Amino acid sequence: MRRRPQRALLGVGVSGALVLGGAPAAAGPAAATPGSDGCPTSGDQAETLGTRAVVDWLNGRAKGYDANGVPVTAGWTTGAVGMTGVSYNGTLPNQVATTGVPGLRTIVPVAAISSWYDHYRANGLVVAPGTFQGEDTDVLARFTAGRARAEGPCADEIAELTAEQDRVTGDYTPFWRDRDHLDARNVRASVFVVHGLNDWNVKTEHFAGWWDELARRDVPRKIWLHQGGHGGPGSTASVTLPDGRTWIYKQTENRWFDHWLWDVPNGIMDEPTAVLQREDRAYTTYANWPDPGARDVALKLAATDAAAPGTLGTRRPPRSTVEQSFVDEGRTIHPDTLVADPDTASPHRLAYRSPVLTRDVRISGRPEMRLRMAIDNKPDANLTAYLVDYGPAGTTAAPTVVTRGWMDPQNRKDPSRTQPLRQGKLYDYRWTLEPKDHVSRRVTGSVWSSSPAIRSTPCCRSAGRGCAWRRTTANCVSPWSEDGPFSDSEPPGRSAG
C-alpha cells in the first residue's frame, strides 16, 4: 500500500513545534536556538536564507542529515508548504516569503515584524518594543542563543551586533536595510496577516507596512485584526460573514490552509478581505483595510492662550494664534499623568481637544502629525505625540490611548541622516503615528518630549531644566472613514494647510 504524499505545514522559529488541522508538520528551529547550530543575527539575510533552506529541503533542493550524519529526505511531502508562527516565529515566514522560494504556497504571520528598524527605532529615535526598555538586536540575540552560546562561540557575532546597531544616532543604516523585509516584489505565497491593534511590542506599523506592500504587488491576502495586544485573537474568536455564516478564527485559519495547500474551493477568497474586532469586542468585516471609504482630514491644532489647552478641529485657526511652550519632564512624569486631564494646562505637555462629537468618527489608517517647533535651550531632544480618546460626554471611564508616535528632531528630513539643530530656530516636523482603527466621540492630540518607550537623549539626561520646546503652528492629518463632524459649516480638508 503506497502512502499519498502530503502538503507540509512548517513552523520555524525560536521555540515550539506546529500541529495544525491534522496536517503533517515540520518544526525548523532558527539558527542558534535549541535544536540548531550557528549564531544569531537578529533578522538579517543570513537568518532569512537559513530558514528558507528548510523549504528547499522539503522540496528536495537542499540536503538534510539526522543527528548521526545520515542523509534524510522529505519524501513524505509534495513540497507544497505553508508557514505560520507568532511574534519572532511569525516574522521568519515574512522573511522567507520575500525570497520567492518555490514551494512556499502561503504564510500566516501572527504579530510579526516586517522591518527590524521599525521594531527598535522610530524616525531616528531608539524605541523599546513594549515594556522591554533597553532591548535591541544584541539583547535579543543573547536571549535566543542562551548564555553558554552567547558568552562562548557566538560572543564575537553578538559584539558585532552591538557595534553596528547604533544606539547613539538611531539612524537607518545598511545594518537596518539588511533587516528590512518590506519588499514583496518576489513574494509568491499568499499571506493571511493577523495582528493586535493594541500591540505595543510588535507595533501596528509592522502589519500595516507589510499589508500596503502586499497590496501594491497584488499578492493574494487576507487580514484579521483584533483588539488585543501581542499575540493572536484566540482560537474561539468568531466573526459572522455578510451571508450569515459564522466562523471561529481557528476554522478560518484551517480553511485558509485548505484552500492554498490542498486547493479546496471553499470560497474563502470570495469573502470580505478584512476581519476587524471593534471596541465592543464584536467582530465585523470590511472590504479592505484601511477602510476604502476613509479619506484624509486635516485637523488644525490651534490655541489663543499661551498656557491653556488648545483646540483640534477643521476650522481655520483664529488670527490671534499664539506660541505655546512646554518643558520636558517625561522621565519623571508618566504619560498616563500627562494625558489624564486634557482640560487642565500643564507646563510639561501641550493638549489640543476636539469638541464632544454628536456621532462616532472612525480613524482607519495612519494619523500624521505636522508641527513647527523650536528647542530653546538644548542641542537636541525627543518628540512624542499621542492621540487620546476621552469617550462621550459624561463618561467616567479612563482615557484610551488610540495611538502614539515618536521622532528625533535631528532626523526631521530623513531617518538615514542626522542633521544638527540650531537652538531657538523653528523647524517643520512631520511624521506618522502608529496605524490604528478606532471609533471615537472625543479625541485630543497631546505633544511632549520624552517617553518611557524611548531612550533618553543627552538633553533629557542633563541636570537642571529639561528641554524647552516652543510651538507656533501644527496640524494632525487623520484618515477618517466618514466626513467627521468637527464642524457643521466647514467641510474637512484633504491636506494640512
Catalytic residues: 87, 199, 230
Cell of 346: 500643564
Give, in degrees to the nearest 5, the angle at Cα 383 between 377 and 389: 135
Distance CA 414, CA 173 (A): 11
Q: List all residues 6 or more positions away from 193 whose beta carbon is below 8 Å from its beta carbon.
A: 109, 207, 210, 211, 214, 221, 222, 223, 224
Cell 523647524 maps to which residue?
427
- Whether residue 128 contacts residue 135, with contact meaning beta carbons closer than 8 Å, is answered with yes
User: Which residues are bridge partners to 362 per DSSP?
Assistant: 439
Distance CA 273, CA 253 (A): 14
Kindly report the number of other CB atoms within 10 A of residue 452's CB atom.
12
By C-alpha distance, which of 284, 164, 145, 184 is closest to 224? 284
Q: What is the largest CA-CA distance in the chain?
A: 87
By C-alpha distance, which of 193, 179, 187, 54 is closest to 117? 179
Distance CA 205, CA 211 (A): 9
DSSP 444: E
Instruction: Look up residue 130 and give its amino acid.
Output: G
Distance CA 296, CA 363 (A): 10
Provide the 3-class DSSP secondary structure of residue 282.
coil
Q: List all residues 6 or more positions away from 133 whose beta carbon is below 8 Å from its beta carbon.
A: 452, 453
Helix, strand, coil: what percent of the chain each, to 5? 20, 30, 50
By C-alpha distance, which of 368, 361, 378 is closest to 483? 361
* Dihedral sign computed on CA atoms, order 127, 130, 135, 136: negative
Q: List all residues 6 or more positions away from 68 whose beta carbon is below 8 Å from its beta carbon.
A: none
Peptide bond preceding 392: is omega within 30 degrees of 0, i.e. cis?
no
DSSP 354: P
